[in-house]
Structure 1
Amino acid sequence: MKAIEHIRLKVEGAIAIITIDHPPVNALSMQTMAELHEVLTEIEQKKEVKVVLLRGNEKLFVAGADLYELLKTETNEEAYKMSKLGHELMDRIENFPIPVIALVEGACLGGGLELAMACHIRIAKDNAIFGLPEITLGIIPGAGGTQRLPKLIESSKAIEMILTGRRISAGDAKNLGLVLDVYSEESFEQEAFSLANNIADKGKVAITSALKAIQAGLHHSEQEGFEVEANLFGLCCTTNDKQEGISAFLNKRKAKFEDR
């Protein structure tokens, strides 16, 4: 592994901020994906972190895959390997043990949208643009776009976006349910950290358990989801945080969770 060049990590208390900074368009190259893996591993080792914010630089989120890498990819085997590397990263983010929130500014296209869709929550600045334009390049989305978009928004709209490569605004993305909310330039940063802090105020055992139960229900049968939920509910009920949370509620005070 080369030294990390395109990813910056900053930890502020219980919040980890991952910034993708790969000028000029934050292309999601194979190196960038490998660096994201490395940073995620580092975050997993930080017990104090409860929320991850994933963002691009100050101009855009991610404008797509590295087209120069794609241009050099000429065999079925090479392309298949590239696609599977993308799947591996997106699956890791989707199943990350703590919530990952995508902060989308500017272009969120192709691999950028696939990356954002793998995150648990997406919020957007009002200048954000979303799309899967791969079809205009003679290819299709290869890092999960054809699978996740029809699950996140109405399937016919997803099919239309994929088959035409049409881009949509932040407002349209909110109306379709692709993003949680849209904020202005002035309030975007504050709202992002407000959401992250609201989650980080809770106990880590409950946060990770809730996320795991949600993912079980989304990706397995309803009965399997119920079973995972019951087991994790049982785990949470053995924690000090459960005692503190209920005691604080009954005594009308703010809970002070210790993540145990």
Structure 2
Amino acid sequence: MEFLSWNIDEGVAIVTIQRPPANALSQGIIQEVDQMLDALENDSSVRVIVLHGEGRFFSAGADIKEFTEVTSGAEFSKLASSGQRVFERLETFPKPVIAAIHGAALGGGLELAMGCHLRYVAEDAKLGLPELTLGLIPGFAGTQRLPRYVGMAKAAEMLFTSEPINGIEAVEWGLANKAFPVDELLPKTVEVAKKIALKSPITLKAAIDMLQYSKHASYYDGVKAESESFGTVFESQDAQEGIQAFIEKRQPTFTGK
């Protein structure tokens, strides 16, 4: 790949965006994110993905130069839909995906991060959706995901003012999980990822499915779906291993079966 690379360590694929100087979110990067998910979904050695940016930024936003090549509103809508599809795939991916955000995650960069299941940030990171300063609005589901994380009022403030928030504010507002000093960000994120990687792939997928189900189902439909998933998971070898390991006071060894 031209813009993404990764290495695998103890079940964690550490994926790096490499498009200096700002890791601007081009269509090429979005396509490679899709291809990366293809590869890692089928790799049984990978249980968790950590996504981060090389250099000074996670991703400072969309590649604005690409916008000048678009000739119609219909084409622009198609471009937005293609990005939405990939980011929705991230959010529903059967293995946890964690964004480690340093420098800046702006515009499409923040929309990419919001598609991940978890977000860890550097304390001085900048997160925002500045599209209104260009006479545009976010196009990769930013207007839909942001209020689900921070609430309607704060989402409106971030959109209308175009002013970013820092990493500490992102945690306080519910947009990020934890904030770390920048030099600790990636090691701490990978540490969390390795803990998650010890869990059963079956239960991780089931948990992701249930979290996604809650986006569109009623509470009672979700509760019913959870009970059905609970029974399905119980029949797995991993569930029996987990229960037996607890009784025997040892660490379980999950195989994904």
Q: Same fold (TM over 0.5)?
A: yes
8 Å CA contact 1:122–1:178 kept in 2: the answer is yes
Structure 2 Cα separation of the partners of residues 60 and 119 of structure 1: 17
Equivalent of residue 240 in structure 1, options 232, 237, 242: 237
Separation in 1, partners of 2:215, 2:77: 26
Which residue does 1:140 correspond to in 2?
A: 137
Shift of 1:71: 2.2
Shift of 1:25: 1.1
* Contact 1:216 1:224 survives alignment (8 Å): no
Once the 2 structures are TM-superposed, how far is the Cα of residue 73 of structure 1 from its aligned partner?
2.0
Alpha-carbon distance between aligned partners in 1 of 2:228 and 2:6, rounded to the nearest angstrom: 34
1:49 and 2:41 aligned? no
Of structures 1 and 2, the one with the larger relative CO (CA 8 A, separation 6+) is 2
Deviation at 1:24, TM superposition (A): 1.6
d(CA) in 1 for partners of 2:255, 2:94: 18
Unaligned runs of 5+ in 1: none
RMSD after superposition: 1.2
**Matching of residue 113 in structure 1 with residue 97 in structure 2:** no
Q: How does 1:15-164 map to 2 (within 5 A)?
A: 15-164=12-161
Q: 1:190 aligns with which of 187, 190, 204?
A: 187
Deviation beyond 4 Å, 4+ runs, structure 1: none
Tell me the distance in 2 between the aligned counterparts of 1:84 and 1:116: 17
Contact 2:21–2:55 under 8 Å retained in 1: no
- Alpha-carbon distance between aligned partners in 2 of 1:73 and 1:164, rounded to the nearest angstrom: 26
Contact 1:28–1:62 (CA<8 Å) still a contact in 2? Answer: yes
Query: Residue deviations 1:195-220, cap 9 Å, x none?
Result: 10111111111111111111111232
1:164-216 deviation digits (Å, cap 9, x = unpaired): 11111111111101100000134223211111011111111111111111111
Aligned-partner Cα distance in 1 for 2:72–2:234:
53
Q: Cα offset for 1:231?
A: 2.3
- Give the secondary structure class of the aligned counterpart of 2:112: helix
SS of 1:72's equivalent in the other structure is coil
- Identity %, equivalent residues: 38
Matched residue, 2:7:
10
- Structure 2 CA distance for aligned equivalents of residues 47 and 243 of structure 1: 20
